[in-house]
Amino acid sequence: MKTIAEEMKNHLSECIIPFWKKLRDDENGGYYGYMDYDLQVDKKAVKGCILNSRITWFFANAYLTLGDESLLKEAKHGYEFMKKYCIDQERGGVYWSVAYDGTPEDTTKHTYNQAFSIYALSSYYDASGDGDALRTAKELFHIIEERCMDEVGYKEAFDRDFCEIENDKLSENGVIAQKTMNTLLHVFEAYTELYRVSGDGEVRRRLEWILDTIADKIYNPALHRQEVFFDSKMRSILDLHSYGHDIETAWLIRRGTDVLGEKAYEDKMLPIILDLTGQVYKTAFDGHSFANECEKGVVDETRVWWVQAEAVVGFLNAYQLAPEHTEYLEAAREEWNYIKERLIDRRGGSEWFWDVDKDGEPVSRKPIVEPWKCPYHNGRMCMEVIRRAAGK
């Protein structure tokens, strides 16, 4: 673990951080929203608010991990763009995207987007001590709880006035989902961070509710997986096993129960964590890398950047919870080797490929940066491994 952590610290410091620093937009604020496969930056591309919040989260946590003051300045740059442009000052909530100059581009208010802003604001507060960031995070928490909920769970997509609309942004595979595992997971992740820095009792109660919902409605014990897409009553609408989300969920659940410090929830969730991890180890991991997903029995063998990053942390998490399973430590090491050999783009001025095929070739030529491609997964992988290797 210490060897891997040292390698990741170097990769974080020498590759990921410098790459994203160079995408800083000092004229219009925030960070440029698009770099194509040929490494051409479109300085007038749309800036996704998820992208900007994830970059803000990344720099805040990189500062907390490495202590480099320049990283706090980057986080502040991202935060100021969020505060000025991404948050709807008139009607509340966070837009889906803004134009390059900060004017609203897509005014959809998505629960997923609100959650990532909470995630970023909470971490920025931890790094900077800026009370306004924490106050804004709590305001968004109340928006989610008061305007994005029904009696069953979290709804997904809304117009600018928080009237519900079709959830086309987080629906895939030919279905339109009224509720999703993905949104619930990242609300949980955001609330975990908010509770960690605030200790707010209301946030704590919602974390406990989400854990119960994951255990009782999302997790499918018969199939050893999570369900992904749901109707309004939380009934699954597609036979889909999302390998990357299951391994990510496994370690994020543990992160949440650690922050809660409630043994009853640690005991309740531990079998689910180990079951999700064990199943993807058997079905998605080939000894070196991780397949993407399985829909109706058909496996998508694409090796997606974020899935590989989450696999490293997820396997390491399972090894730490069950040290007798040394195969998980080996799997984390093999995944990292695969990332170094296949997913890190060695061309000057680049970072990671979006994906590669089963043979490890980047045939899709997808963008290096776009609204979903950011330093959140791979940067977090590095920081999680550094933290865990240090026993934190």
Per-residue pLDDT in tens (0 to 9) along the chain, 392 residues: 899 999 999 999 999 999 999 999 999 999 999 999 999 999 999 999 999 999 999 999 999 999 999 999 999 999 999 999 999 999 999 999 999 999 999 999 999 999 999 999 999 999 999 999 999 999 999 999 999 999 999 999 999 999 999 999 999 999 999 999 999 999 999 999 999 999 999 999 999 999 999 999 999 999 999 999 999 999 999 999 999 999 999 999 999 999 999 999 999 999 999 999 999 999 999 999 999 999 999 999 999 999 999 999 999 999 999 999 999 999 999 999 999 999 999 999 999 999 999 999 999 999 999 999 999 999 999 999 999 999 88
The pLDDT tens digits of the residues spanning 228-268 come to 999 999 999 999 999 999 999 999 999 999 999 999 999 99
Please spell the DSSP secondary structure of 62-100, one letter per residue.
Answer: HHHHH--HHHHHHHHHHHHHIIIIIB-TTT-SB-SEE-T
Cα 130 from chain centroid (whole Å):
23
Taking alpha carbons only, the member of 56, 54, 73, 70 closest to residue 377 is 54
* pTM, entire model: 0.97
| The total number of residues written for the chain in this structure | 392
Q: Which domains does the chain have, with CATH numbers?
A: 2-389 (1.50.10.10)
- Sign of CA pseudo-dihedral 342, 250, 322, 382: positive
Residue 41's DSSP bridge partners are 35
Burial of residue 91 (CB within 10 Å: 0-12, 13-18, 19+) is exposed
Burial of residue 392 (CB within 10 Å: 0-12, 13-18, 19+) is exposed
The answer to whether 388 touches 316, Cβ cutoff 8 Å, is yes
